[in-house]
Structure 1
Amino acid sequence: MSEIIYIAKLSGGKDSTAMVDLLLRNNYPLDYILFCDTLAEFGAMYEYLDKLDAYFKKAYGKSITRTKPKKTIKEAVFARVSKGEHKGEIKGAFLPQMGYCDWRLYSKLHTEDDFIKSLGASKSEIITYLGITIDEKHRADLTNENLAYPLITDFKMSERDCQEYLKSRELENPLYRHFTRTGCAFCPAQSMRAKFNLWKYYPDEWQKIKELENELLAKEAQGEKIYNKYWFNKWSVAELEKRFAAQDDGCGSLFDDEPLKDCFCKF
């Protein structure tokens, strides 16, 4: 294969979404818009992606390609440690390493690698667009010819610029009402404020986390050893619920009265 394949990584966050729309609006070469599903996204994220997909199809004739990991998040949680002093123990809740956890590595990075392999192209024949802004230029490997950072090199956009761009295009992700960043709903590394908003505004996702943790605790009560039994590390879900209920003043989010521009009307 000699032709270059262009892939844009889409997370659903403001930076990657703005990048993809800008690439398409400006007729950049783009073969695949790739979203790697963790199977633990917010319900609101899946709804947003459906709207984005319909918009990209109507405006540009492009669809979002979605990948899924080969195992479920529950299978990963109840897998056994395979080596070391904790060999045989149930792995339990994910532990962030350098800001990431094993599930992100498996469900996103490994799945992305599998997708690229399925194209039958070598790494030198793939150019991947990454939505890193000028605020985080230190994260970009600008020496790698197979990675492109159009928000830095071409559009000169900050995170705030991306936010304003999506607002002007009426493409905002509703998750930004309650979170400063989007990501896996089950993320163990969320800030305490994000955990509170998860509990208060996204009860379905919170309940799924609670059920997984309760299953781990039930296994422990049966004599199983759990490497990490609490989803949020030192805090159990039950403890956080009590803390949040005590802190909750019954008021809504500061942003609930702010109109959200997410009608996807401007082509």
Structure 2
Amino acid sequence: MLLGMIERGMQIDCILFCDTGIEFPAMYDHLDKLERNIGRSITRVHCEQSYEYLMFETPVKRKADTQFAQKFGHIHTGYGWAGPRMRWCTSKLKDGPRERFLRPLREQYEIIEYIGIAADERYRLKRRRNQAQNHVHPLVDWGMTEAACLQYCYDHGYTWDGLYEHFKRVSCWCCPLQSLSELRQLYMHYPKLWVMLKDWDSRTWRKFRADYSVKELEIRFNFENERLDKNLPIKGREFFDALKAQLEASTSENSNH
């Protein structure tokens, strides 16, 4: 979207990036490269507290009579992993810093925000925030799909060091809401990040996913590789029965130690 706006000579007063602190390293390299190529600086806003502080250290108290509190308790140190109904990372690391930056500007100017929603993501326009009158969606107006946008960026020399060869959508590298296929790619291609992910999972009060801890995911991915080497399927009842036995054996071994 930004490259297209520059090519069309559209007015751009500020290029805003909400830095969560947990983007893929290649994404930060991409932003540095972009700044050099277009000859403009990117305004980077971030939360006053780091992701790790919010996840592990900040005091959290919730209403004791909620279903969540009954399951996990109502007092915690740190927010723990985000979940489908508790995306604290979005509000704390993205929405909050963005609004703190824009609020004083709105007092002086009429702010028009350009949002990079692609033409085949029209469902996102139904969200209330994206319906604001001062939000413009150039990619939708230009009829550019996600695939067309990615190819356009590749044609202009932006590859993100292969991130989009591994992931359909690049989010924070440690996001527990990623699909199993994306987490498998993380395990296979980004071992240093995976080690950090496993360490973080061992330090927080909430399991990484409802179905798997990070360690259990590692067991599953290794088991899948072993079966693929033997030309055995990695889906179906027989596979999941065998996987369950593997996970139970690992739990039993750990308890014995």
TM-score of Structure 1 vs Structure 2, range by shorter chain: 0.7 to 0.9
Match of 1:261? none
Match of 2:251? none
1:83 equivalent to 2:67? Answer no
Q: 1:235 aligns with which of 190, 212, 215?
A: 212
Shift of 1:143: 5.7
Match of 2:248? none
Residue type of the alignment partner of 1:207: V
Match of 2:147? 160
Q: How many residues align?
A: 214
Query: What CA distance in whole angstroms lies between the structure 2 residues aligned with 1:198 and 1:21?
Result: 28
Query: What CA distance in whole angstroms lies between the structure 1 residues aligned with 2:209 and 2:190?
Result: 16
- Write 1 or 2 for the structure with the bigger share of helix: 2
Q: Deviations over 1:81-123 (max 9, x none)?
A: 32212322333211133xx7211221111110011135x3339
Query: Computing the radius of gyration over CA atoms, which structure comes out larger, 1 or 2?
Result: 2
Query: What CA distance in whole angstroms lies between the structure 2 residues aligned with 1:20 and 1:130?
Result: 10
Shift in alpha-carbon separation, 1:123–1:194, aligned structure 2, 3 A: farther
Look up the SS of the partner of 1:96 in the other structure.
coil
Which moves more between the two structures, 38-47 or 162-171? 162-171
Query: What CA distance in whole angstroms lies between the structure 1 residues aligned with 2:27 and 2:38?
Result: 16
Shift in alpha-carbon separation, 1:162–1:246, aligned structure 2, 3 A: same
1:189 equivalent to 2:177? Answer yes
Q: Which runs of 4+ in 1 moved over 4 A?
A: none
Q: 1:113 aligns with which of 99, 105, 121?
A: 99
Shift in alpha-carbon separation, 1:123–1:102, aligned structure 2, 3 A: farther
1:55 equivalent to 2:40? Answer no
Q: Contact between 2:30 and 2:158, CA under 8 Å: does it hold in 1? A: no
Shift of 1:74: 1.5
Aligned 1:1-267 pairs, distance under 5 A: 19-57=1-39, 62-78=40-56, 79-85=58-64, 86-90=73-77, 91-97=79-85, 101-118=87-104, 120-122=105-107, 125-140=110-125, 144-153=132-141, 155-173=142-160, 174-216=162-204, 226=205, 228=206, 230-248=207-225
Could you state the TM-score of these two structures normalised by the residue count of structure 1?
A: 0.74
Shift of 1:26: 1.0
Match of 2:232? none
Q: Contact between 1:96 and 1:102, CA under 8 Å: does it hold in 2? A: no
Query: What CA distance in whole angstroms lies between the structure 2 residues aligned with 1:114 and 1:204?
Result: 33
Query: What CA distance in whole angstroms lies between the structure 1 residues aligned with 2:131 and 2:90?
Result: 25
Look up the SS of the partner of 2:16 in the other structure.
strand
Shift in alpha-carbon separation, 1:37–1:233, aligned structure 2, 3 A: farther
Query: What CA distance in whole angstroms lies between the structure 1 residues aligned with 2:100 and 2:6?
Result: 25
Query: What CA distance in whole angstroms lies between the structure 1 residues aligned with 2:13 and 2:175?
Result: 30
Residue type of the alignment partner of 1:130: I
Which moves more between the two structures, 106-115 or 142-151? 142-151
Could you state the TM-score of these two structures normalised by the residue count of structure 2?
A: 0.76
Q: Contact between 1:140 and 1:149, CA under 8 Å: does it hold in 2? A: no
Query: What CA distance in whole angstroms lies between the structure 2 residues aligned with 1:159 and 1:28?
Result: 21
Query: What CA distance in whole angstroms lies between the structure 1 residues aligned with 2:20 and 2:87?
Result: 12
Shift of 1:233: 3.2
Percent identical residues: 30
Match of 2:68? none
Residue type of the alignment partner of 2:149: C
